Amino acid sequence: MAAHKVAHATLKGPSVVKEILMGFTIALAAGSLWKMHHWNEQRKVRAFYDMLEKGEISVVVDEE
């Protein structure tokens, strides 16, 4: 009997360097988005306290 040769896909293991680079890229992107979010919140807080100091807004409810 003749043996049939079948072409099988050879599965490779994970590439360590590729995994590290992908993880680094994802972490850098997520960290950048997180930092931009915090900069935006910090800008809002500074604007609030600037308006509070100028007297443009008040945190005390006016009684009529």
Q: Are 16 and 23 in contact (CB under 8 A)?
A: no
**What is the band of 32 on the pLDDT scale with cuts at 50, 70, 90?**
very high
Provide mean pLDDT across the span 42-59: 94
Higher pLDDT residue, 2 or 62? 62
| pLDDT value of position 44 | 97
Rounded Cα distance between 51 and 57, Å, is 6
